[in-house]
Every structure is written in C-alpha cells, then in structure tokens.
Amino acid sequence: MAIATTNPATGETLKTFSPDSDALIEQKLAKAARAFESWRKTSFAERAQRLSRVGALLEERKDALGRLMTLEMGKLRKAAVGEIEKCAVGCRYYAENAERHLAPEPVQTDARRSEKRFQPLGAVLAVMPWNFPFWQVFRFAAPATMAGNVGLLKHASSVPQCALAIEELFRDAGYPEGVFQTLLVGAEKVQKIVEDRRIVAATLTGSDGAGRSLGQAAGAQLKKTVLELGGSDPFVVLPSADLDEAVKVAIAARIQNAGQSCIAAKRFIAHQQIAGEFEERFTAGMAALRIGDPSDDATEVGPLSSKQVLDEIDKQVRRSVEAGAKVACGGKRIDRPGFFFQPTVLVNAEGSPAWTEEVFGPVAAVARARDLGHAIALANDTPFGLGAAAFTTDAREIERLTDEIQAGSVFINGMVKSDPRLPFGGIKASGYGRELSAEGIREFVNTKTVWIG
C-alpha cells in the first residue's frame, strides 16, 4: 500500500512518502533496544515530567494537529480538536497515576517478605489504525512509556503526517532518542518486525483479520499481544427509556467519525412497544444530517476515509437489501468529489450483512425485540463483543442488561466511549487484553513474584 496523504473530502493525493528501507528499520530497532536499557532505569517522576510536557504540547498545537487529522482522514474539525484534547487528558492521567498503578504490592505469605513487582518488558510494536490517528496511539504510548517500555509505531499508511507529528511531540518533549519512534512501513513488513528479537510484545487496533494475522505472528514467537479489534455494538431501547434522549444519542452514536469507530453503535434494537416511534424518529434524524466539508463546523457527517472504505460500505448495503433489509433512508454513495455516503437506516435488518458484519460507515441496522430476553439475545447475536449501550430506567432491566450482554463494556443511558480511568477492550472477535486504567498499564509489564525468606 502507498504511504500517502489523500484528502478524503476531495479524493486528491497531496503528499507521498518513501517507506523506510530495511537498513533504516534496523537502525530504529537498534535505537529502541539501546534506549530501553537507560529508559527503564529512569524514575516515575522523570517519566511523568516528560509525558506531562507531551500533554502540554498537544494542547498548544491542537488546532494545527486537528487540521492534520481532518486533511488525512476526513475527521470533522471540532472532533479532531477534541481528540487532541483527549490525548492530553490521557497523558495527564498516566503522568499522575502510573506510579500508583505499578507500585509493588505486598502479599502475606510464609516469607519474611513477599510482594508483586511490575517491571517493563522492552520495545513494544504498536500497529495502529487511521480512524482515531492520535487517540489510538496515545492509549498505547502513554502507559507503555510511563511503565518504562519504549515504543515503535507502525501507523496506518494513510496517515503518515499524523504518525510523524506524534513522534515529533515526544522528541520536542525531551524524550531520549529511541524511546518513541515511527516506522513508515506497509503491512507487509509487520511480520518480520514482530519476529525481530528486540521486539518483546505488540499491540494492534484494527480489523479482526489484521488481529488474527498479528496474533499468529507474535504467537509463533511467544510474544505478548493486546488486540483491540472490530465491533458491531448493539444499542437497545426499552419502553421505560427517555425516547427523546435515546433517539438523540442513537444518532450521535452511529454517525460519530462518519460511523468509522469500533465502538460506534451499529445494531439498534427497539422493544416492539416503542419500535415504530423509535424507527420513525431515528430515521428522520439520520436523514436530516448535514453532509459536507469536514473543515466546516456546520457539517455533521464528513467523508469516509478512503475509496476502499466507501466501496465496501456500498457493497454491504446492497448485499443487506438483497438479504431482505429495507432502506428507510439513505442507502447510496453521494455524487460529489471525495468519499461520501448517505447516512442510512436499514430496518428489518436482522440476519443481513449489516447485522452480522462490522459496517464501518454511517449505516444503522434496526431490529425489533419482543421482550427484554429477546433484546438481550439480539444484542449478543454477533461474533463481536466490544461495547454495548442500552436505554431504560427500570432497575431490574439495568441489572440484567449489564450482567447478560456479552461485551467488554456496557453503558446504560449513554453512548459507549473510552475514558482513561476505565479499562477498554473486548471479547470474542473484538480481541483480548485491555487498554487504559490500571489494567492497560499492566499489560506490558513483567508481574514479578518476589519472595524473601
């Protein structure tokens, strides 16, 4: 795949980059190995000072970095700036909490002293996607470097300028050379890099296919991985819900990032008592969304990130209609420059490709549930298990939903989101391991047992 900046709003390729040569990759791996030997010995206070500086630089540069995101992958300007601000919050969280999360834990045994210690592993490879070009990276980089590891970023080939800008942030914040580096390489180079003895672990955010590939390569080398993969999140609406709020959040949850989010709500399940009204209001809201230039703050839905993504969404919608789903609104690509698709609602969608596959665009699949048990069964009717949302004010329903929905997170009366204070990740085909919170920083450490007699 070419490493290039292509503006999704126009389809114009603006800048191309030469991939790193094998010799340059070798130099970067050697730098990472050398950097780890000294970085692992730094204090938490020293690491926190540098990560706090990264957070400050993110805040200072948020407008320019936001424009870069809008240019490379079509994110709405306000959302892009918000993503940069969230990265700064993540940096502050780990600067303030890493030492506490990794403090030795005494355990009472037959020893004079015994405890658990958490120590860094080494150079970790991060294979990251284009849809949240900064936040996905910082979810890895902030905890990994605060733990004393060093990072090598293989970013999506469509966001090279974002990748280089992140490396520049670490450099400008005073990190020693080699602690965080960007590799400008295509996917075909990943296996060889994973196999290198200096890479001790890997993390990937992306499709389940990409996760299987990385997992197999790392597993063959007995190297730890964290995989945050796709999702087909359910959004359940029950009769006791505040329907005004449920419809408003449902629209926002489906069209965030033009629908290109692993935790975007994708399958909407309405109880039969309120299904007709929900479908009518949800469809009207989706149809009324303003589509256009992502740099214009009046725009509510921008372009998809690439022609490849646009073509795939178009095929999934057509296949879903052939399988029996009905188009309530949208359903077509938009005849204009760039990669735009109409916000789409498919009703009677249960069992169609829009229901069984991850649809990475502004397409909602809607089904009706007979009762709470049926709603939970429909929510779990997916190979994925990343997030789930449900709207109800009934305490008994809340308990069953949070207990029985099979997902890494369940949000009641709110939209699924990531938060540095809460662990993030999925089950089933959505991957394994956790990012963020204490669980995230402990993924790439050696939990060492110490026993002193």
Distance, in Å, from the CA atom of 243 to the CA atom of 222, rounded to the nearest integer, reads 50
Domain that holds residue 103: 3-229+430-452
Work out the burial of residue 380: count CB atoms within 10 Å of its CB; fewer than 13 is exposed, 13-18 middle, 19 or more buried: middle
Q: Buried (b) or exposed (e) across 175-212, using 16+ Cβ within 10 A? A: bbebbbbbbbbeeebbeebbebebbbbbbbbbbbebbe
Catalytic residue, chosen from 72, 83, 167, 228, is 228
pLDDT of the residue at 101: 98
Three-class DSSP category at 40: coil
Q: How confident is the model at residue 227 (pLDDT cuts 50, 70, 90)?
A: very high
252 with 220, same domain? Answer: no
Q: Are residues 246 and 169 in the same domain?
A: no
Share of the chain above pLDDT 70, in %: 100
Residues 55 and 200 in one domain: yes
Q: Pairing between strand 363-369 and 344-347?
A: parallel
Q: Does the pLDDT of residue 1 top 70, yes or no?
A: no
d(CA 31, CA 34): 5
Say if residue 207 is in the same domain as residue 240. Answer: no
Q: Is the pLDDT of residue 251 over 80?
A: yes
State yes or no: pLDDT of 18 exceeds 70: yes
Residue 297 and residue 158 share a domain: no
CATH of the domain at 262: 3.40.309.10
Helices (H) and strands (E) in the chain, counts: 15, 20
In this structure, how many other beta carbons lie within 10 angstroms of the beta carbon of residue 307? 14
Residue 286 · residue 330 · CB < 8 Å:
yes
Both 315 and 407 in a single domain? Answer: yes
Tens-digit pLDDT profile for residues 37-75: 999 999 999 999 999 999 999 999 999 999 999 999 999
Q: Are 80 and 137 in the same domain?
A: yes
What Å distances lie between residue 442 and 68, 100, 445, CA to CA? 32, 12, 5
* C-alpha torsion sign, points 116, 118, 119, 123: positive
CATH of the domain at 146: 3.40.605.10
Same domain for 305 and 170?
A: no
pTM above 0.95, yes or no: yes
The pLDDT of residue 2: 84
> Catalytic: 228?
yes
Look at the chain and report how many structural domains it folds into.
2
In a domain, 424, yes or no: no
User: Residue 4: enclosing H or E segment and its boundaries?
Assistant: strand 3-7
262 belongs to the catalytic site:
yes
Domain for residue 314, yes or no?
yes
Same domain, 403 and 446: no
Distances (CA, A) of 411 to 211, 278, 389: 25, 19, 5
- Do 309 and 329 share a domain, yes or no? yes
Mean pLDDT score of the chain: 98
Q: Supply the pLDDT for residue 333.
A: 97
CA-based nearest residue to 434, from 208, 218, 166, 139: 139
Residue 312 has pLDDT above 80, yes or no: yes
Coil, strand, or helix at residue 303?
coil
Q: Are 154 and 289 within one domain? A: no
In a domain, 439, yes or no: yes
Q: What tens digit of pLDDT does each residue of 105-129 get?
A: 999 999 999 999 999 999 999 999 9
- Does 417 reside within a domain? no
Residues 209 and 310 in one domain: no
| Residue 22: predicted pLDDT | 98
User: Per the domain annotation, does 419 fall within a domain?
Assistant: no
Whether 56 maps to a domain, the answer reads: yes
Catalytic residue among 262, 329, 397, 435: 262
99-to-103, 135, 143, 442 alpha-carbon distances in Å: 6, 22, 11, 11
